[in-house]
Amino acid sequence: MRLFTAFVAITVIIASSTTQAQQAPKNGAWRGTFKLANAQESPFNFELQSKTAYLLNGSERFELKGITQKQDSLFIPVDIYDAVIAAKIVNSNTLTGVFKKFNTAKPDKGIEFTAEYGKKYRFFENPGAASVSLHGNWDVVIGESTNKIVGVFSQFGNKLTGTFLTTTGDYRYYEGSVQGNDFYLSAFSGSSPSLIKGKVSGDNLVGEIINIRGAQTMKGVRNEKAELPDAYTLTTIKEGTSFDFTFPDAFTGKSVSLKDPKYKGKAVIVTILGSWCPNCLDEAAFMAPWYKANKKRGVEIIGLAFERKNDPAFAKTRLEVLKKRFGIEYDILFAGIADKEFASKVLPALSAVLSFPTTILIDKEGNVSKIHTGYSGPATGKYYEEFVKEFDRDIDEVLGQKLLLLNQNKQKNNTF
């Protein structure tokens, strides 16, 4: 009902003109373009398969279930981001509509798009040859920011994929093309569409990142050794303090404390998150199955959720969607409004909350072992793989199992 109400509210853009049932859009590959700032268009690719859509970015297939059709109106819910793709079915090969978010600070007018069936290319159906390569690592500056950013790109022929690493998380999956010395990248996985256009000259690149609000300049210098500061050094425990908290369970309202018997004598992973945060979703996609496979080892996970509204009922609704999508079985507590200063205030033992997510590893004695700021998800390739390996090693250490394994190997070697 909410999706239909939202559709009616934006009929100026995607008005339906008939009361008779229309034919459904074709199943298969589609190519759409969003209208962004400065009259720019950002392409995106998706598939329709009956009641399910898949947003395609690089190697990612982002699943959207529960498609409904009302006469010539199509609704693709993006539940995880509290949004909808609402379209008019012009004919079985053409869609026009908007991507619209709910519960925003100001009413969202939506981002207009059109889409055509059977188109699988991103930017160019027949792109020209690439005369430059972006493959590798780049030191990047975006806008006036002084924050460290690393561009990580893979290029094969004129096909380009990549992302940007920052201290708070990565930009997730971008896909595009290189034609001559020009490059083009775009991304849309259900949050906000984005477009990148630029040029490469030798070991330098210039361009801009464009979204619905405007554009930011981008400059980069090729540097295969480009890297971020150590993510384990950015957030610390204040001297003379101990890490503790008490917040309500997001679903039952029952008060939960880190000192509760459930967590005593166990390693505890505390993740500071938000259901609205793309990097937090990537972390949840890793943590949920990891917890199922490892909880019997004496490990617990507690999610501290900071949401768009400081409203328990709203938080419960949003976090239920998160829990269902990823099959989360660990505890999630509602900690308040999604604001770094607020999060720092209610977690005073931390030097500061710099990022959603921030992940805190606590040993069996209740001492903070490590704090990881930000998250490098699967779009980052080897950086994600390195994080997973280090995370598993850290868990072994706080459980004392790394030392046990070393002793077992030592005893085994002494028997020969």
Summarize the confidence of residues 213-237 as an average pLDDT. Answer: 97
Provide the number of structural domains found in the chain: 3
Distances (CA, A) of 216 to 64, 139, 198, 341: 30, 16, 12, 25
Indicate the range of 90-94, 99-103, 323-327, 406-410 predicted with least confidence: 406-410
Q: Which two tokens stand for residue 33?
A: 């373009």
CA angle centred on 112, ends 105 and 77, rounded to 5°? 70
Quick one: pLDDT at residue 50? 95
DSSP per-residue letters across 236-272: -BPTT-----EEEBTTT--EEETTSGGGTTSEEEEEE
Which of 47, 82, 117 is the last residue before a domain boundary?
A: 117
Residues 183 and 272 occupy one common structural domain: no
Side-by-side strand order, sheet with 331-337: 331-337, 299-307, 267-273, 358-362, 368-373
Indicate the range of 16-25, 212-221, 258-267 predicted with least confidence: 16-25
Which pLDDT tens digit goes with each residue over 89-119? 999 999 999 999 999 988 999 999 999 999 9
Residue 129 belongs to some domain of the structure: no
Quick one: pLDDT at residue 409? 47
Residue 143 belongs to some domain of the structure: yes
> Count of CB atoms within 10 A of residue 8's CB?
11
Q: Is the torsion defined by CA of 282, 335, 254, 301 positive or negative?
A: positive
Q: How far apart are CA 59 and CA 137, in angstroms?
A: 19
Q: In this structure, what CATH number is given to the domain that contains residue 34?
A: 2.40.160
Quick one: pLDDT at residue 236? 98
List residues bridging with 248 in a β-sheet.
255
Quick one: pLDDT at residue 315? 98
Quick one: pLDDT at residue 22? 63
Q: Which residue has the tokens 């018997």?
A: 261
Which pLDDT tens digit goes with each residue over 59-68? 999 999 999 9
Model confidence at 401, pLDDT cuts 50, 70, 90, reads low
Residues 196 and 293 occupy one common structural domain: no
Summarize the confidence of residues 341-366 as an average pLDDT. Answer: 97
Which pLDDT tens digit goes with each residue over 272-313? 999 999 999 999 999 999 999 999 999 999 999 999 999 999
Residue 229 belongs to some domain of the structure: no
Residue 411 belongs to some domain of the structure: no
Residues 29 and 148 occupy one common structural domain: no
Which pLDDT tens digit goes with each residue over 27-39? 999 999 999 999 9
Q: In this structure, what CATH number is given to the domain that contains residue 153?
A: 2.40.128.120
Q: Is the torsion defined by CA of 347, 339, 323, 320 positive or negative?
A: positive
Which pLDDT tens digit goes with each residue over 117-136? 999 999 999 999 999 999 99
Q: Indicate if the pLDDT at residue 6 is higher than 80.
A: no
Residue 415 belongs to some domain of the structure: no
As a whole number, the mean pLDDT across the chain is 92
Residues 23 and 101 occupy one common structural domain: yes
Residue 221 CB-density burial (10 A; 0-12 exposed, 13-18 middle, 19+ buried): middle
Full domain range(s) for residue 158: 136-222
Residues 253 and 399 occupy one common structural domain: yes
Residue 367 belongs to some domain of the structure: yes
Quick one: pLDDT at residue 402? 53
Q: In this structure, what CATH number is given to the domain that contains residue 378?
A: 3.40.30.10
Which of 63, 85, 117 is the last residue before a domain boundary?
A: 117
Residues 46 and 170 occupy one common structural domain: no
Residues 269 and 397 occupy one common structural domain: yes
Q: Indicate if the pLDDT at residue 388 is higher than 90.
A: yes
Residues 187 and 92 occupy one common structural domain: no
Residues 113 and 144 occupy one common structural domain: no
Residue 98 belongs to some domain of the structure: yes
> Count of CB atoms within 10 A of residue 66's CB?
12
Residue 184 belongs to some domain of the structure: yes
Which of 222, 255, 288 is the last residue before a domain boundary?
A: 222
Residues 112 and 143 occupy one common structural domain: no
Model confidence at 14, pLDDT cuts 50, 70, 90, reads very low
Residues 207 and 257 occupy one common structural domain: no
| pTM of structure | 0.91
Summarize the confidence of residues 323-346 as an average pLDDT. Answer: 98
Residues 253 and 362 occupy one common structural domain: yes
Residue percentage of the chain with pLDDT more than 90: 88
Helix runs in 205-352, H state only: 278-294, 312-326, 340-346
